[in-house]
Chain A
Amino acid sequence: MDQLLPGDIVEAGRLFPEALAACADLDALLRLKGAYVGREGSHAAHMMDLLKAAPKDQKRDLGAAINAFKQQWEEALKIRQAELESAKKARSAQAANWDPSLPPPRPAEGALHPLNRLMDRLVEVFRPLGFHVEEGPEVETEAHNFDGLNIPEDHPAKASSDTFYLAAHPELLLRTHTSPVQVRTLLRIAPELATRGGVRFLAPGRVYRKDEIDPTHSPMFHQVEGMLVGHGIGMQHLKGTLEYALRALFGPHTEIRLRPSYFPFVEPGCEVDVSCPLCDAKGCRVCKGSGWVEILGAGLIHPNVLSYAGIDPNEWSGWAFGMGVERMAMMLSQTPDLRLFFENDQRFLRAMGGLD
């Protein structure tokens, strides 16, 4: 049948599949479509001209051959057009989509200071027992910092080698512990102690001692003081409260241990150890293999402290404790150098304090 058609058409028919495959986009395809089956100047138009001019007896066979060519081309073009159109659609869909694994914009990341966070945590632990927060000034009187706490007038802690004093006000000092908050609070509430039904509070805060700055010492550090005054308060209540609080802090299996000790403002006095929260009391570097770590000092309020505040120690009694916040933070986090807490590198603060 091909012999009915001129050589250039046959050649165009032979080249068609390759040309079709070479069309990378719709424009190229439309150009190819125009060249083969377009209304004017195309191979198909050329064939129609041939058909018109052909002798009558050949028209039938020639017409069939031309139709076969045209049909084959049109079908292939249609399929290829659909392919290219769907590829284009897919590309534009991709352009509208953003890779979800690209780093997104993020809200700025700040942090609480780890020492403040730890103090806040202690307050949270004691809140359910009815403890509130009392605070006092960091510049204190000698009376509140020492005398009201049954600390003898010639106690070495009073020396200028241990305590910072104000030059223009020799009776003023930087408090060496949070215990003067006990004195202030007791003095303030003494008249209403009976109507309030005693008092129970925590006093977190900053304190100062004349220590040179090194990996384990700082002239400023933090303490949390706890105090409870009521009727018939004894060592069992101190033990009960601390057991509750330290279990709330370190976990329900925590054990505590009281060891006799001495602080002028309590009697009896004790040091409190907690079963090592880092090794489950199995023994590690932090607890020096003993399974116990010292966590705070405590005792029953010395009657002289109550009397100083105008509270009758025959009617009222209570307990008090004081703990070092840095010491506990260093123990829990195993931070090797105390100075990191005062350097305030944002990386340290984010890692150690973070957000609630």
Chain B
Amino acid sequence: MWIERKVLAQELPAVAGLDTRHVCELLAALGFPVDGVVSREGTEALDVDITANRGDAMSHRGIARELATKLAQPMAPLAPAEPVEGTPIVDVRLEVMACPVYSTAVLELGSGSTPLEVQSFLLALEASPKRLPAVDASNELLHRYGHPTHAFDADRIEGAVSVRWARAGEALVTLDGIERTLTSLDMVIADEQGPIALAGVMGGERTKVTEGTRRVLLESAYFDAKTVRAAARRHSLHTDASHRFGRGADPAMARIARNQLVERLTQWCGARLVGAWTAGSLPVPAAPTFLKTTLLTRVAGEILSLAEAAEILERLGCAVAMEAHGLRVQAPTWRHDLVIAEDLAEEVLRLRGYERIPSVLPPMEGPPQTLSATYLQRQKLSRRLAHLGFHQTVTYGFISPEADGAFSAPDNPPEGRTLSNPLGLEYSVMRGSLLPSLQTTAEQNLRQGAREVRLFELGPAYTSSPSGPREVPSLALVWGGTLGGQDYLTPARAVREADLTGIAHDLGLTRAPEVRSLGEGLFGLELPLADLPLAGDRIIPTFRPFSRFPVVERDLSLLVDLGQTYEALAAAMRVALPADTLQDLRCVDVFRHRSLPEGRQAWLLRMRFQADRTLVGDEVDGWIAAALGAAESLGAKLRA
């Protein structure tokens, strides 16, 4: 919100002597950081950031009040002459609790325009003056005192005025020229023809003040914050008035702002007051709040004198009664945010300055908790993978339905995982698989000239369920491109599916992983983290003795069918071999060539034996013969 320095100094004369930088620092320390200062209209305007709870600060007077409290300096008095209230000229009926008080007046306008200094004040705030005194005066009051008011063309109002709930379907053309269809939750000002304003938000076109207006009916009311907020949101109509009523205006300002408006119109254009009156009365203030000494001490972190606290709260406008164990505090009518004792404690600390809060480490009250096994699992996995050459990615949790459909399981329909209000179709489904995002990222890296791409992501994949998407903590890996060829010792080769299988086993996967081909030379693998060992599973196991006798290694070169699986062949051979002596059996070479019999391939199988004694050549020969026999039973033949 823009705050103009000259008017700020009119509200708080002490500001005139402070340099702008100092004012900005004071405001920041009070919780109103200044985002910028600009020079406009021969003055300086401060862009002050005001938090949503402080509707009372959304004006020059409000900001001045904060500074005055901090500096303990007096504000300029706020006392326009009270017009003598008389009998209503127009009947004003308050039919809803959301509008407890409505001050008004009827004036006959004379000639004369908005004073230049007011016009330049409005220009400095980027608010355009209309050169219609009734409109500009209302606008000036809003920015200066924070109380929104409105002027109707009194001659266009038909009969009595009421503040009531709109009837569903009733129409109102607001000042911006848009016809609004109202609901029964909208509070309106209406005459006998229908609504003439959306209460606290915007006036209506039919009764607006124009160049030709001769008589005005003023409105200076108090509208319930929640009702105004809801209406502004319902009609997407956020105005200076709705911002202020929506954050809570000062009901006591209703009458004062009406008087200020009358005073301005009288002075600016020789308006003549026809009559002034107020419908309704001020709402009953909330019960006082008790600030216990113990709570204040606890929040502040040190013992503060109750007298000092009382003095600060009084400077803020509170009525304070000092009692044995604390302060009984009645907040001023403009502070809707002071509700509980903690709110009052905050005010005391805020005005003393947060820099005075002591700094203490909180004492331990119980034993510290360990990190969870699943958290540690992810920490260790990510480090292991990074050391294996994989790059951790972070991609969006939502993807396009097409990408999702290509990877998600058939029993995981996207409907239960779809957003109702996505940024766009391509970000609309909570992904059933991490692979589409990794595939896209891998392809992009390869396009950007990467020789090899190794990526992993840890994150949830989503499964539709009747109660909503279920998160399955998952690991996805992709690997593609060219391996090696980067030095004189390592030959180049394309990444193969088996490379990812090896990684899966390295990470502790015991079953065969389902490696997917994601296109030319690019492979992907996705695993629920539940399939991988938890960190705690890796605590040192029970000792098992190992042999220190020599190892005997034997190779068997076999011709096997192209359709033969290694897993089945190895299983058959293992059965034929002594389990306690066989240390390892593996295929160390695969040879496929047209020189071999058609439909056959050659496998080189290597066996390592070791026992708690020196093995004799004959017994190993016997085992190899048995292993060969087992292989032959599956159609393998010893390769000549």
Using a CB–CB cutoff of 8 Å, the interface residues on chain A facing chain B are 102-113, 115-116, 120, 129-133, 135, 137-139, 154, 156, 159-161, 164-170, 172, 174, 195-201, 206, 208, 210, 212-213, 219-220, 222, 228, 230-237, 239-241, 243-244, 257-262, 267-271, 300, 302-303, 317, 341-346, 349-350, 353, 355-356
Q: Which residues of A contact B233 (CB under 8 A)?
A: 154, 156, 159
Interface residue from B230, B371, B419, B454 paired with A164 (Cβ < 8 Å):
B419
A30 to B40, CA, bound (A): 103
Given contacts A113-B394, A139-B471, A230-B362, contact A130 B368 (CB under 8 A): yes
Q: What is the interface size of chain B, counting residues whose CB is below 8 A from a CB of the partner?
A: 94
Contact status of A303 and B358, CB under 8 A, knowing A138-B471, A166-B419, A259-B29: no
The residues of B that contact A196 with a CB separation of less than 8 Å are 366
Kindly count the residue-residue contacts between A and B in the assembled complex, taking CB atoms under 8 Å apart: 259
Contact indicator per residue, chain B 206-250, by CB within 8 Å of chain A (1) or not (0): 000000000000000000001001100100000000000000000
Chain A residues with Cβ below 8 Å from B422 are 164
Q: How far is the CA of A208 from the CA of B398 in the complex (A)?
A: 10
Enumerate the 4 nearest inter-chain pairs by beta-carbon distance, A residue then B residue, closest first: A197-B366, A108-B389, A236-B301, A260-B31
Known: A103-B487, A303-B340. A219 touches B388 (CB 8 A): no
Give a binary string over B527-559; 1 marks a CB under 8 Å from any A CB, 0 the rest: 000000000000000000000000000000000
Taking a contact as CB atoms closer than 8 A, the residue among A116, A160, A201, A233 that contacts B420 in the complex is A160
Whether, in the assembled complex, B372 has its beta carbon less than 8 Å from a beta carbon of chain A, the answer is: yes
Alpha-carbon distance between A213 and B422 when the two chains are bound, in angstroms? 13
Residues of B with C-beta under 8 A to A269: 346
Give the interface SS of chain A, mostly helix, strand, loop or mixed.
Answer: mixed
The residue of chain B having its C-beta at the shortest distance from the C-beta of A244 within the complex is: B361
Given the known interface contacts A167-B420, A210-B423, A267-B340, the answer about A116 and B392 at a Cβ–Cβ threshold of 8 Å is: yes
Contacting pair B300 A234 (CB below 8 A): yes
Q: Do A168 and B415 have beta carbons less than 8 Å apart?
A: yes
How far in angstroms is the closest Cβ of chain A from B190? 24
In contact, A110 and B388 (Cβ under 8 angstroms): yes
Query: With A198-B365, A201-B369, A259-B33 in contact, is A166–B418 under 8 Å at CB?
Result: yes
Q: Is B454's CB under 8 angstroms from A139's CB?
A: no
- In the complex formed, the residue of B with least CB distance to A239 is B359
Q: Tell whether, in the assembled complex, residue A110 and residue B350 are in contact, meaning their CB atoms are under 8 Å apart.
A: no
Is the CB of B489 closer than 8 A to any CB of chain A? yes
Residues of A within 8 A of B361 (CB): 129, 237, 240-241, 244
What residues of chain B lie closer than 8 Å to A107, measured between beta carbons?
387, 389
Contact B471 A154 (CB under 8 A): no
Q: With A133-B371, A259-B354, A300-B342 given, can you name 19 additional A-B contacts, CB distance below 8 Å? A: A110-B390, A111-B391, A130-B368, A131-B368, A132-B371, A133-B372, A159-B233, A164-B422, A166-B418, A169-B468, A174-B397, A201-B369, A235-B349, A236-B302, A236-B360, A257-B355, A341-B394, A345-B445, A346-B391
* Contact indicator B421/A160 (Cβ below 8 Å): yes
Is the CB–CB distance between B419 and A235 below 8 Å? no
- Report whether B357 and A239 are in contact in the complex, using a CB–CB cutoff of 8 Å: yes
* B395 contacts A344, C-beta separation under 8 Å: yes
Cα–Cα, bound, A45→B370 (Å) = 97
Chain B stretch 307-358: residues in CB contact (< 8 A) with chain A? 340, 342-343, 345-346, 349-350, 354-355, 357-358
Q: Provide 15 A-B residue pairs closer than 8 Å at the C-beta atoms, listed in order of the A residue.
A: A103-B488, A110-B386, A112-B382, A154-B233, A165-B419, A169-B416, A170-B420, A200-B362, A233-B298, A235-B300, A243-B359, A257-B354, A267-B346, A344-B445, A345-B448
Q: In the bound complex, what is the Cα–Cα distance between A306 and B467 (angstroms)?
A: 27
- Complex Cα distance A230/B421, Å? 40
Q: Is the CB of A219 within 8 A of B427?
A: yes
- Which residues between 361 and 409 of chain B lie within 8 Å of chain A, taking CB atoms? 361-372, 375, 379, 382-383, 385-398
**Cα-based distance from A196 to B365 in the complex (angstroms):** 8
Q: Is B122 an interface residue (CB 8 A)?
A: no
Contacting pair B392 A353 (CB below 8 A): yes
Interface set of B (CB-CB < 8 Å, partner A): 28-31, 33, 51-54, 226, 229-230, 233, 297-302, 340, 342-343, 345-346, 349-350, 354-355, 357-372, 375, 379, 382-383, 385-398, 415-423, 427, 430, 441, 444-445, 448, 450, 452-455, 459-460, 462, 467-469, 471, 486-490
Other-chain residue from A102, A161, A228, A236 in contact with B359 (beta carbon distance below 8 A): A236
Please, how many angstroms separate the alpha-carbon atoms of A85 and B386 in the complex? 52
Q: When the two chains form their complex, are residues B489 and A317 in contact, meaning their CB atoms are under 8 A apart?
A: no
Residue of A102, A212, A317 near B298 (CB, 8 A) is: A317
B450 surroundings in chain A (CB, below 8 A): 346
Q: Which residue of the partner chain, among A208, A231, A240, A267, contacts B343 with CB atoms under 8 Å?
A: A267
Cα A172 to Cα B396 with chains together (Å): 18
Question: Contacts A137-B471, A260-B350: A349 and B359 contacting too (C-beta < 8 A)?
Answer: no
Bound Cα distance from A199 to B362, whole angstroms: 12
Tell me whether A109 and B389 are in contact (CB under 8 A). Answer: yes
List chain B residues, Cβ under 8 A from A342: 394-396
Once the chains bind, are A350 and B391 in contact (CB under 8 Å)?
yes
Contacts of B486 in A (CB 8 A): 103, 105-106
Beta-carbon contact of B395 and A105 below 8 Å: no
Closest chain A CB from B555 CB (angstroms) = 27
CA distance A259 to B25 in the complex (A): 11
Chain B's closest residue to A141 (CB) is B468
Q: Check if A260 sits within 8 Å of B340, measured CB to CB.
A: no
**Known contacts A103-B487, A267-B340, A300-B299; is-contact A135 B357 (Cβ 8 Å):** no
